[in-house]
Amino acid sequence: SVLNQEVDFEQEVEYLKKYRKHILAISNDKEKYYSPEPYTAMSTKKVITMSWEEGLSINDWLQTNPSQKKKEKLAHLVLNLYCHEFYHWGLVQTDPNFANFLVREADGDIGLVLLDFGATREYDKEFRTQYLNLIQNVHVLKDAQDQDAQKAKIVQIGVDFNLIDKREDQVAKDLFVEILNLAVEPFFTSEKNNKFSFGNQEYNRRAKESIRTFVSSLKYSAPPHRLLFLHRKLGGISSLLRRLDVDLDLSRYWLVMFKESNQD
């Protein structure tokens, strides 16, 4: 179970070692990431010992009234990290609580400190390829000449991916396509000079309502745990960016998704 995983500190130490290796490889002058160093000799299945890392919680950092530029820099650090996690490494810290982030500020620049790896999950290449195939087909829907045929293709990919049962009625299948459309919408927004506003309450309302309606329409489907944890992480990122109140051009992240995944 998730709880058992999160209190298995021997496993968390192993994930922390893997994650820390990745973090050190991507950190540079433009993007600074930090994670604790685990002390294996002083850790057991019930106790984990690691280095102390300096930084402010997100809420405490916001209390210092950082500039909009700094808030946007932090937002990009978070988004770039997720692209590395899922599309390149296949190693995702899925806990959505942004108390797992600290902000470290030095010499006018900021870095992101990452904590708590108990909810880390691995995503193999096949899963990531299927996921990318699904969202790519959702993206081309708006320009498809035969909308019904493209929607049917998206649903079939979802069925093959075990996201929706083929026995669901047409209402549920249409709602499945709708929530996926909403998921890719921020990448291709036309508001505010192609910047998506994470404080957009109308978008947030539509997304929540569509998910609620979709879930209540299901009679046979149970989405796989790996996808649930992944979307829990995405929900946490979205909440964090709403807290930062930033407007970002996300179009480049769409390209990064496919670039990163093809580097394996």
Spatial distance between the Cα atoms of 43 and 238, rounded to a whole number of angstroms: 34
pLDDT digits 0-9 by tens, 85-131: 988 899 998 887 888 899 999 888 899 999 888 888 899 999 999 98
User: Do 228 and 164 touch, CB atoms closer than 8 A?
Assistant: no
H-assigned helices in the chain: 2-6, 9-26, 58-62, 68-82, 125-139, 147-160, 170-184, 201-217, 225-244, 251-261
Question: Which residues of the chain carry a pLDDT beneath 70?
Answer: 1-8, 190-193, 223-224, 258-264
pLDDT digits 0-9 by tens, 170-200: 999 999 999 888 888 888 775 556 788 877 7
pLDDT of residue 193: 65
Spatial distance between the Cα atoms of 55 and 50, rounded to a whole number of angstroms: 15
pLDDT of residue 222: 81
* Token pair listed for 135: 């969202």
What's this model's pTM, rounded to 2 decimal places?
A: 0.82
* Residues belonging to the chain: 264
Burial 213-234 (b: 16+ CB within 10 A, else e): ebeebbeebeeeebeebbeebb
Question: Please, which residues have CB within 8 angstroms of residue 258's CB and are 6 or more apart in sequence?
Answer: 87, 132, 136
CA 236 to chain centre: 7
Structure-derived torsion over alpha carbons of residues 173, 176, 178, 184, reported in degrees to the nearest 10: -140
